[in-house]
Amino acid sequence: MSSLLDEIKTGVIPKHIALIMDGNGRWAKQKNQPRLFGHQQGAIAVRETLKGAILCGVKCITIYAFSIENWNRPKDEVEGLMNLFIKACEEELPNLQENKIAFKVIGNLSLLNQECLTSLRKVEQATANNTNLLLQVAISYGSRWEITNAAKNMVTDILANKIDLDNINEELFGQYLLTDPNNDPDLLIRTSGEYRISNFLLWQLAYAELYFTNCYWPDFTKEELWKAIADYQKRERRFGKTSEQITNNK
Listed in sequence order, the residues at least 6 apart from 3 whose beta carbon sits closer than 8 Å to its beta carbon are: none
When asked if residue 58 is in the footprint of ligand IPE (CB under 6 A), the reply is no
Go through 205-229 and write b for each residue having 16 or more CB atoms within 10 A of its CB, e for each that does not. Answer: beebbebbbebbbbbbebebbbbbb
Judged by CB under 6 A, which of 8, 14, 18, 23 binds ligand IPE?
Answer: 23
Q: Which CB atom, from 8 or from 53, has the smaller least distance to ligand IPE?
A: 53
Phi and psi angles of residue 231, each rounded to the nearest 5 degrees, phi first:
-65, -45
Rule CB under 6 A: say whether 64 interacts with ligand IPE.
yes
**Site membership for ligand IPE, residue 21 (CB under 6 A):** yes
For residue 12, count CB atoms less than 10 angstroms from its CB and return exposed for 0-12, middle for 13-18, buried for 19 or more.
exposed
107 binds ligand IPE (CB under 6 A): no
Among 14, 17, 18, 25, which residue interacts with ligand IPE (rule: CB under 6 A)? Answer: 25
The binder of ligand IPE chosen from 41, 49, 62, 67 (CB under 6 A): 67
Binding segment (CB under 5 A) for Mg ion, from list 16-24, 78-86, 95-103, 221-229: 16-24
**How far apart (Å, rounded) are the C-alpha atoms in residues 141 and 135?**
15
Distances from the Cα of 43 to the Cα of 15, 80, 118, 236, angstroms: 22, 13, 19, 33
Binding residue for ligand IPE (CB under 6 A) from 37, 66, 103, 211?
66
Whether 22 is catalytic is yes
Using CB under 5 A as the criterion, what x/- string covers residues 20-39 for binding Mg ion? --x-----------------
144 binds ligand IPE (CB under 6 A): no
Q: Does the protein bind Mg ion through residue 224 (CB under 5 A)? A: no
Decide: 58 and 17 in contact? Cβ < 8 Å: yes
Q: Please, what is the minimum distance in Å from the beta carbon of residue 32 to ligand IPE? A: 14
Is residue 229 at the binding interface for ligand IPE, with CB under 6 A as the rule? no
Residue type, 85: F
Instruction: Please list the active-site residues.
Output: 22, 70
Contact residues for ligand IPE, defined by CB under 6 A: 20-26, 64-67, 69-70, 81, 192, 196, 198, 217
Residues that bind Mg ion (CB under 5 A): 22
